[in-house]
A and B are shown apart, each in its own frame.
Chain A
Amino acid sequence: MVSVNNNGNSSSLIQVRGLNKTYHRADEQIQVLQGLNLDVDKGDFVAFMGPSGSGKTTLLNLLGGLDVPTAGAISVASDEITHMSSGKLTEWRARHVGFVFQTYNLIPVLTAFQNVELPLLLTRLSKSERRQHVETALSIVGLGNRTRHFPRQLSGGQEQRVAIARAIVSDPTFLLCDEPTGDLDRKSADEIMALIEELVAKHGKTVLMVTHDPVVAARAHTVLHLEKGVLVEGSKSRQSVTAGGVV
């Protein structure tokens, strides 16, 4: 269940309260997010839409612990991340967040296997355990036979699949996808979205996704719009909409 106006306690997986983000450019202050509230439950699939500069990526960065808010709080599975030190936040990201980027961001000199293995290098898993996890993740994304291929030997859609395998291999609490289909043709984009839907439906993953594409957004359970730093309910939701937010 997704809510954008709750400012009290809840038992949601992700809780955002009064989130503000202001950037300073010379003497100018740019307020990107203004008092944003959000609750996302486990297994939700949320799409954030909005025009360029509306703060979608900033929100994703804050939720992923890549940036710190000017004010407000973010809790994930009861962990308050807003006041964590940089080191703690890095450890937290390794355990809880899987990132999928628009441009895949694979390491070009590593094979698909080695790229997917990267997050597991931070764990205490043995080499054989890591191999098992990587093979499972690559088979989930349908690339079990491409383990030795380098990114340059894969298509865009396949690269993004490897990136998704890297994001899920350590079984994170939730996935953050920043325009995951932005660099893909329609067919590949459909395949990637089908894969993400499968991760949500079959594997119970929680996915928060930023997209410009209404067709892609429509495949999420909930679509939220960011306009001038404020979240507003979307036009499509599987959930019932009540006054004051999407519930």
Chain B
Amino acid sequence: MKFAALIFANLFRKKVRLALTLGSFAVALFLFAFLAVVRKAFTGGADLANASRLVTINRVSIIQPIPLSYRDKIARIPGVQAVTHDNWFGGVYQDEKNFFPQFAIDPENQRKVYPEFVVPDDQWNNFLKDRQGAIVGARTAKRFGWKIGDRVPIKTTIWGGGAWEFVIDGIYHGKVAQDDETQFWFQWDYFQERVPDRLKGLIGWYTVMLNSPDQALRVAKAIDTEFANSPYETKTDTESAFAASWVKQFGNIEFLIITIGSVVFFTLLLVTGNTMAISVRERTGELAVLKAIGFKDRSVLFFVLAESLAIALFGGVLGLALAFLAIPVLGNALSGMLPNLILSKPMLATGIGFALLVGAASGLLPGIGAMRLRVVNALRRV
């Protein structure tokens, strides 16, 4: 602490340069936070996936349906605790920009398979009794200002056209902040009534809850074997693998984000490394005086590193604070398109770690140069 005055005095020596360097860190860390949040939004499904759940789709593609009659056969396979099914509705509420995912669900098994989505019992019971009933995620309800009892028309673009009317019977919440609260569920029976005859009795995919995650491989194989050589062959994966393959449809998001992040990292490293090198070079004489009066080499290295780390920390915190404020705004703007834009504590900690790593790396070479400075030579240059 007794060196704090010296370190801070040197930090504020060139205020414009300090502001620009802090700005570089702030912008880089803002971008880092944004990329981390987007990446998490894409890959979060896989991270949140329940290890005890399997997803069974048509072997050809997820857009090809499979028969409802498979449900009972799947339920009989040893190790299966519950089976539910979903159909993608793909409707539009008022405007195409108002995207949110809608599913025709199996009310009987939905809550057994997805215990992380919590609906109050009274609301759920009303939903079961209401053919046009719907349960909506808290974020989507908040987004459109929907309340229980509201009638909501949703126009379908897939299932024969026209607007379908629903009644909001309940609002679900996730158990953790990362849970997707944007979905809209309605009764499969209502869906069956209105789809063209050729599509009746067909579902989009099954979600299977297992007794134990250890049985995943065996049960997945048993399901696919059961329907092998049928007109509707299946492909069963863990929910995590299913979510990962879903993300891959958008391209290699992870690679893209890591590439952009790496470019930001190295650019920042070069900018701050150059700044620190100039800063140390300007102070060669002063550093020599410090060494002459008894400051050790490692003390001089410490001063240079402390400066670069302080810049990294302040700039990083500034950038992350801005991101913390901006990401919810962005999340609202993109609501439904990318669920769960959450700047989590681990992301913030990683961001600070990233900033400190760049700070240490950028201060290290100039610091070593200052450490190796020969006092006699440096004083001669003063």
Contact residues of A with B, CB < 8 Å?
A: 61, 64, 66-67, 86-87, 90-91, 93-95, 99, 101, 103, 105, 107-110, 114, 118-119, 121-122, 127, 166
Contacts and interface: CB of A to CB of B under 8 A. Distances in A.
Nearest to B283: A107
Contact of B289 (A95, A101, A121, A127): A101
Nearest to A86: B297
A99 B292 contact: yes
Contacts of B290: 118
Contacts, number: 64
Nearest to B3: A121
29 contacts: A64-B292, A66-B379, A67-B376, A86-B297, A87-B296, A90-B291, A90-B296, A93-B292, A93-B293, A94-B295, A99-B289, A99-B292, A101-B289, A101-B379, A103-B382, A105-B286, A105-B289, A107-B6, A107-B9, A107-B289, A109-B13, A110-B6, A118-B6, A118-B290, A118-B293, A119-B293, A119-B294, A122-B294, A127-B2
A101 B289 CA distance: 9
B285 interface: yes
Closest 9 CB pairs of A and B: A94-B294, A109-B9, A105-B289, A66-B375, A67-B376, A119-B293, A93-B294, A122-B294, A90-B296
Given A95-B294, A109-B10, A122-B294, 5 more contacts: A86-B297, A90-B291, A90-B296, A99-B289, A119-B294
Given A101-B289, A109-B12, A109-B13, A90 B382 contact: no
A114 B9 contact: yes
Contacts of B296: 87, 90-91
A119 B293 CA distance: 6
A105 B9 contact: no
Given A66-B376, A109-B12, A109-B13, A99 B293 contact: yes
B155 to A, nearest CB: 68
Interface residues of B, number: 23
A104 B379 CA distance: 11
Most buried by A among B3, B285, B286, B379: B379
B5 interface: yes
Nearest to B6: A110
Interface in B285-321: 285-286, 289-297
Contact of A61 (B289, B297, B376): B376
A105 B382 contact: yes
Contacts of B292: 64, 66, 93, 99
Nearest to B299: A122
Contacts of B12: 109
Nearest to A102: B382
A122 B13 CA distance: 23
Contacts of B379: 66, 101, 105
A108 B379 CA distance: 16
A171 to B, nearest CB: 13
B2 A121 contact: yes
A107 B295 contact: no
A156 to B, nearest CB: 15
Nearest to B285: A105
A121 to B, nearest CB: 5
A107 B295 CA distance: 14
Contacts of A122: 293-295
Contacts of A105: 285-286, 289, 379, 382
A107 B294 contact: no
Interface in B332-382: 375-376, 379, 382
A205 to B, nearest CB: 16
A23 to B, nearest CB: 11
B262 to A, nearest CB: 36
B6 A114 contact: yes
Nearest to A150: B9
Contact of A166 (B2, B9, B10, B293): B293
B289 A110 contact: no
Contacts of B375: 66
Nearest to A122: B294
Most buried by A among B10, B294, B375, B382: B294
Contacts of B297: 86-87, 90
Contacts of A91: 294, 296
Nearest to B286: A107
Contacts of B6: 107, 110, 114, 118, 121
Contacts of B9: 107, 109-110, 114
Contacts of B3: 121
Contacts of B2: 121, 127
B376 to A, nearest CB: 5
Interface in B1-38: 2-3, 5-6, 9-10, 12-13
